[in-house]
Amino acid sequence: MNAPFYKFDLFSQDFSLLIAFVIGIGFGFFLERGGLGSSTKLAAQFYFRDLTVFKVMFTAIITAMLGLYWLSWFGFLDLTLVYVNPTYILPQLLGGLIFGIGFVIGGLCPGTCLVSTSTGKIDGAFTLLGIFFGIFVFGETVTFLYDFLYSTSAGQITIPQLLNLPHSVVLLLIVVLAISGFAGAEALEKKYSAKEK
Partner 1 sequence: MTSIVERLSLSSTRRVADEKKAQPYLNPYLAGIGLGIVLLLAFVVMGRGLGASGGFTSMLTAGVNAVAPEHAAQNEMYSSYIAESEQSPLTDWLVFELIGVVFGGLISAFFAGRIKKTVERGPGISSKGRLALAFFGGTLMGFAAKMARGCTSGQALTGGALMSVGSWIFMIAIFIGAYAFAYFMRRQWI
Partner 2 sequence: MKMNSNKSFIKILMLLAILFALLAVVAGSPYKITIQPVSINEEFEIEGKSIKVIDVQELAKWIIDKRDDFYLVDTRVQNEFEKYHIPFALSISGEKLIDASVDKKEAIIIYDKSSRYSIKNIKPLINIRNEEVYFLKGGMDGWINEILFPDLRENNNLSKAEIEKIYKTSTYFGGKPTLDKGRPKRKYKREGC
Q: Which does 177 bind (CB under 5 to 8 A by kind): partner 2, partner 1, none?
A: none
Find the shortest distance in angstroms from Cβ 133 to partner 2. Answer: 19
Strands 153-155 and 87-88: antiparallel
Find the shortest distance in angstroms from Cβ 22 to partner 1. Answer: 6
- In this structure, the number of other CB atoms found within 10 A of the CB of residue 1 comes to 11
Nearest to 3 by CA among 64, 84, 80: 80
For partner 1 (CB under 8 A), the number of binding residues is 129
CA angle 77, 81, 83 (to 5 degrees): 115
> Which residue of 104, 172, 176, 187 would you call a contact of partner 1, by CB under 8 A?
104
Residues with Cβ < 8 Å from 36, sequence gap 6 or more?
42, 52, 53, 56, 112, 115
Residue whose CB is less far from partner 2, 108 or 171: 171
Residues that bind partner 2 (CB under 8 A): 1, 7-9, 62-63, 66, 68-70, 72-73, 75, 78-80, 85-86, 142, 146, 166-169, 171-172, 175-176, 179, 182
Find the shortest distance in angstroms from Cβ 154 to partner 2. Answer: 13
Length of the chain: 197
